[in-house]
Amino acid sequence: MISKKIESALNEQIALEAYASFLYLAMASWCNREGLDGCASFMHRQSDEERAHMLRIYTYLAETDGFALTPAIAQPPHEYDSVQAMFEKVYAHEQKVTQSINDLLSLSYAENDHSTLNFLQWYVEEQREEEALMRNILNKIRLIGSGGQSLYYIDKEVDKLNKTAIAQESTEEEN
């Protein structure tokens, strides 16, 4: 059985993951409008991934006799000054999620909840990977620069990263 404090904190995490899913979906729409098909595909996959993170917590709460709440989601921003500004927003959001996971770990330690500590380890690794990926994309954007031709190359680089991630996921599913 899970404590009410942990249940409440995990429900807050559900809301954060749900918001991320909608944020990335809104970003995908912006990318589509801007002709950044590779970035749009990347953001669609990120949105799906965030929803899966949310559902993972739903399942965990059910397994531990907790109750998952379906959160109300605030309208995410849907306009960006540039692809770089958009990815800076993504990186900042991933950092916020990492901090939230760290806070959940601290609470789990304080509550002596070893099951939740174990459950959250997956998120610790996932957030390290997410932050590294977004930092890598931002570094590529800074290297490529801005402008029409640069946007073309940025879109191709993000698309390549997305296709690599999809291929890795397929390989992991087969094994």
Residues in binding site for Fe cation: 17, 50, 53, 94, 127
Tokens of 105: 């770990």
Give the pLDDT band of residue 153 (cuts 50, 70, 90). confident
Give the pLDDT band of residue 146 (cuts 50, 70, 90). confident
Give residue 173's pLDDT: 77
- Counting other chains too, the contacts that 16-19 makes at CB distance below 8 Å and 24 or more residues apart are 16/96, 16/97, 16/100, 17/50, 17/51, 17/53, 17/54, 17/57, 17/97, 18/50, 18/51, 18/54, 18/71, 18/73, 19/71, 19/73, 19/74, 19/76
Domains of the chain, residue spans: 4-174
Q: How far apart are CA 119 and CA 144, in angstroms?
A: 39
Residue with tokens 């191709």: 156
Residues in binding site: 17, 50, 53, 94, 127
13-70 residue pLDDT tens: 999 999 999 999 999 999 999 999 999 999 999 999 999 999 999 999 999 999 999 9
Tokens of 42: 């990347």
Count of alpha carbons within 13 Å of 83, Cβ hemisphere only? 34
Among residues 106, 5, 131, 11, which one has the least CA distance to residue 60? 11
Supply the pTM of this predicted model. Answer: 0.91
Query: If you classify domain 4-174 with CATH, what class do you get?
Result: mainly alpha
Cα end-to-end span (Å), the chain: 33
Q: Which residue has the higher pLDDT, 152 or 117?
A: 117
58-116 residue pLDDT tens: 999 999 999 999 999 999 999 999 999 999 999 999 999 999 999 999 999 999 999 99
Q: Are 133 and 103 in contact (CB under 8 A)?
A: no
